[in-house]
Chains A and B, each alone.
Chain A
Amino acid sequence: MRTDWRDGDRARAVEASALGGSRYLVSVDGAPMEVAAERLPDGRLVIETPTGHFVAEVSPAGTRRFVRLDALEFVLDLESGGRRRGPRSSSGGLEAPMPGVVTRVMVAGGDEVSAGQPLLALEAMKMEHVIRSPRAGTVKSVLARVGEMVAGGRGLVELEPDATDAG
């Protein structure tokens, strides 16, 4: 079974298949290894990889998987087949970086904006976060309104890049 993951800004791919018993063949980013895995009655996994022996606890929350490996924590995003998201940077910060309430909308559809221009502001837990335009362009539409609560990753502004002087 292949699963695709987002690990921070990186795309990671894992291929896992059962070898029988508690043994599995697992390739992480194309590098194969044999892994022994056993599920404890409480749901934790004891896994043995060539690099060591770990107790792992995996909690699904939406598309995220919270992975605790001994006392280390990782948050991986499971990317569903066909709807794989591009790297965060390509979405240009026009998505909400965190869940929050839209406090200010500073542009409207049709506005020309320059790179770095504030587009709107989000507030979460007493912190205001200003969403700026990643590049010069024209606002196609604003997808959120003041007072609206938005989830993390939700699109806020659609931007059309400046048309080049193609006459």
Chain B
Amino acid sequence: MTPKPAMFRKVLIANRGEIACRIAATLREMGIRSVAVYSAADRGALHVRTADQAHEIGAAEPQASYLNIEALIAAARASGAEAIHPGYGFLAENAEFASATEAAGLAFIGPAPDQIRALGDKREAREIAKRAGVPVVPGATGSSAAELSKAAAKLGFPLLVKAALGGGGKGMRVVGNAAALAEAIESATRVAASAFGDGAIYLERHIERPRHIEVQIVGDGVGGAIHLLERECSLQRRHQKVIEECPSPAVDNALRERLTSAAVALAKSVRYRGAGTVEFLLAPDGAFYFLEMNTRLQVEHPVTELVTGIDLVRLQIEIAAGGKLPGQSAIERRGHAIEARIYAEDAARGFLPQAGTLVRVRWPRAPFVRVDRGVESGDPVPVHYDPILAKVIAAGVNRDAALLRLSGALDDTLAHGVVTNLPFVRALVRSGEVARGAYDTEWIEREFLPDFTALVTAPAPEAALAAAALAELLRASLATDGAPGAAAAPDPFTALGRWRQGGPG
């Protein structure tokens, strides 16, 4: 029998918002003390209130605080933490931060720095996938027009033409046929040369109407790896996921076997350590292609947790402390789970991010509904960070039950004071295509948004204006008819709302 590894006694969470709160919850359950860090804009934030202790690390700007490696390591040392959990975003996929953590004698709850570096480089990750036998989107590089047209004929159309060195889609074009290729290559070469100083072109087969399917994997760092099923994340707006679920309605058992085997093979080939996600594009013909690997906990990890019963944060911590992986046979699939992300953004005005104070928030409470949230009533939403406020997740015995429950939970959610995407996600979960699982990564923008935008920019119904006006009238009459000094009393609705939240039930 191998002795049980020593568990950390204190862990620093290098993040904020809902994910910092969620990590603290697992630490509490494990009997590990949690250390929060916060910027000047986050004093008194929920993640600070819920941790066992907290350290201010810098000014509001992320570069000065949540991206400030030196300040984070110093806070970890000062607090006596033995490990750092990076959450997602910020420094979660920063190899330099992982190295600095380990150099300071602390455990990094995530992959080894060289794994973060290798898998974070898109071209290198593609090579790693190829070597592990994982299909990648067919592509070719070249510099001369003749070379490129020959490659194009082999790849087939439609094709994506882009700068070999580029990122972010600069100068990227979709070409439908051979006739249009020469002109596209010429213009892409020009863009590539001026923007990147290198005219080399990358051609890639363009997968039309793909779905985004990802596989959750966990590795032990010494060559063992298991998967925790797939997630379906095709409901996106401008590559930002909105609604995610586990399992995918588009994946049957045979396809699941192929997808998860590919992901596990990739993880094993690099002796991956910790939790990671292998993302794939699934073409309408059932072929799938490696997209990228995320070397961190994903925003959407709760749907996997609700279906497998495995706490991924706990597993991450146990592996970082030298613990063992559960066997693949211990991972079971039970029912279905769907998540909606709640963002502070205004769907009626181009999804502009919003900031301000959430004067009144009410999260749903119901059986089989989980809420991972970073704010409560009265909390500010600062301008400096990602506008995610919370995730509402519902589980059910099957997809229909989970979707219905999520719809009810979103109706029971209230967030006033800052405009949120609640109307957007409520409308999404009610749409027929979502009920049938019939969508791809471009469906929201192509088909859903035009109707939705028309709906949310239409005039408010008379009843809404009547309600707003009557609230003012009642407020004014309360102020004049009430007890002496009533005029200075707080707004009755705010006051009652707060009283109600403090009350039982």
Which one of B348, B386, B492 contacts A43 once the chains associate, using CB atoms below 8 Å? B492
Q: Is B173 an interface residue (CB 8 A)?
A: no
Interface residues in A1-22 (C-beta closer than 8 Å to B): 1, 3, 5, 7-8, 10, 12, 14-18
Would you call B463 and A49 a contact (CB within 8 A)? yes
Would you call A61 and B387 a contact (CB within 8 A)? no
Which residues in B have their C-beta under 8 angstroms from that of A14? Answer: 465-466, 468-469
Which residues in B have their C-beta under 8 angstroms from that of A132? Answer: none
Bound together, the chains give a CA A111 to CA B356 distance in angstroms of: 33
Interface residues in A48-62 (C-beta closer than 8 Å to B): 49, 51-52, 54, 56-61
Query: With contacts A47-B466, A58-B471, A59-B493 known, is A74 near B383, CB below 8 A?
Result: no
Which residues in B have their C-beta under 8 angstroms from that of A100? Answer: 355, 383
Could you tell me the distance in whole angstroms from the C-beta of B83 to the nearest C-beta in chain A?
28
Would you call A78 and B472 a contact (CB within 8 A)? yes
Which residues in B have their C-beta under 8 angstroms from that of A104? Answer: none
Which residues in A have their C-beta under 8 angstroms from that of B476? Answer: 1
B346, B383, B411, B492: which has the most chain A beta carbons within 10 Å?
Answer: B383
Q: Which residue of B lies closest to A8 (CB)?
A: B457
Q: Is A165 an interface residue (CB 8 A)?
A: no
Q: Is A124 an interface residue (CB 8 A)?
A: yes
Could you tell me the distance in whole angstroms from the C-beta of B314 to the nearest C-beta in chain A?
30
Which residues in B have their C-beta under 8 angstroms from that of A8? Answer: 348, 457, 459
Q: Is B496 an interface residue (CB 8 A)?
A: yes
Q: Is B166 an interface residue (CB 8 A)?
A: no
Q: Which residue of B lies closest to A1 (CB)?
A: B473
Of B218-226, B263-271, B414-422, the stretch lying at the interface with chain A is B414-422
Which residues in A have their C-beta under 8 angstroms from that of B356? Answer: 61, 99, 152
Would you call A125 and B385 a contact (CB within 8 A)? yes
Would you call A1 and B423 a contact (CB within 8 A)? no
Bound together, the chains give a CA A156 to CA B429 distance in angstroms of: 39
Would you call B353 and A124 a contact (CB within 8 A)? yes
Q: Is B470 an interface residue (CB 8 A)?
A: yes
Query: With contacts A35-B470, A74-B460, A125-B387 known, is A60 near B494, CB below 8 A?
Result: yes
Bound together, the chains give a CA A100 to CA B60 distance in angstroms of: 12
State the main secondary structure of chain A at its contact with B: strand
Q: Is B464 an interface residue (CB 8 A)?
A: yes
Q: Is B144 an interface residue (CB 8 A)?
A: no
Range of interface residues on B (Cβ < 8 Å): 35 or more
Which residues in A have their C-beta under 8 angstroms from that of B493? Answer: 43, 57-60
Q: Is A130 an interface residue (CB 8 A)?
A: no
Which residues in A have their C-beta under 8 angstroms from that of B416? Answer: 57, 59, 61, 66, 68
Bound together, the chains give a CA A51 to CA B460 distance in angstroms of: 14
Q: Is A72 an interface residue (CB 8 A)?
A: yes
Q: Mark B45-84, 1 if CB is under 8 A from A, else 0.
A: 0000000000000000000000000000000000000000
Q: Is B182 an interface residue (CB 8 A)?
A: no
Could you tell me the distance in whole angstroms from the C-beta of A158 to the nearest C-beta in chain B?
23
Which residues in A have their C-beta under 8 angstroms from that of B463? Answer: 47, 49, 51-52, 54, 56, 69
Q: Is B143 an interface residue (CB 8 A)?
A: no
Would you call B469 and A3 a contact (CB within 8 A)? yes
Could you tell me the distance in whole angstroms from the C-beta of B441 to the nearest C-beta in chain A?
20
Would you call B355 and A56 a contact (CB within 8 A)? no
Q: Which residue of B lies closest to A15 (CB)?
A: B469
Would you call B462 and A28 a contact (CB within 8 A)? yes
Would you call B460 and A12 a contact (CB within 8 A)? yes
Which one of A1, A17, A51, A60 contacts B462 once the chains associate, using CB atoms below 8 Å? A51
Would you call A43 and B497 a contact (CB within 8 A)? yes
Q: Is B467 an interface residue (CB 8 A)?
A: yes
Which one of B357, B418, B466, B492 contacts A28 once the chains associate, using CB atoms below 8 Å? B466
**A-B pairs with beta carbons under 8 Å apart, 28 shown:** A7-B460, A8-B459, A14-B466, A14-B468, A15-B469, A26-B469, A28-B466, A35-B470, A37-B467, A39-B474, A45-B474, A47-B463, A47-B466, A47-B467, A54-B463, A56-B471, A61-B356, A65-B471, A65-B472, A66-B359, A71-B411, A99-B356, A99-B383, A124-B355, A125-B344, A125-B353, A125-B383, A152-B356
B interface, CB within 8 angstroms of A: 344, 346, 348-349, 352-357, 359-360, 383-387, 410-411, 414, 416-419, 422-423, 426, 457, 459-474, 476-477, 491-497, 500
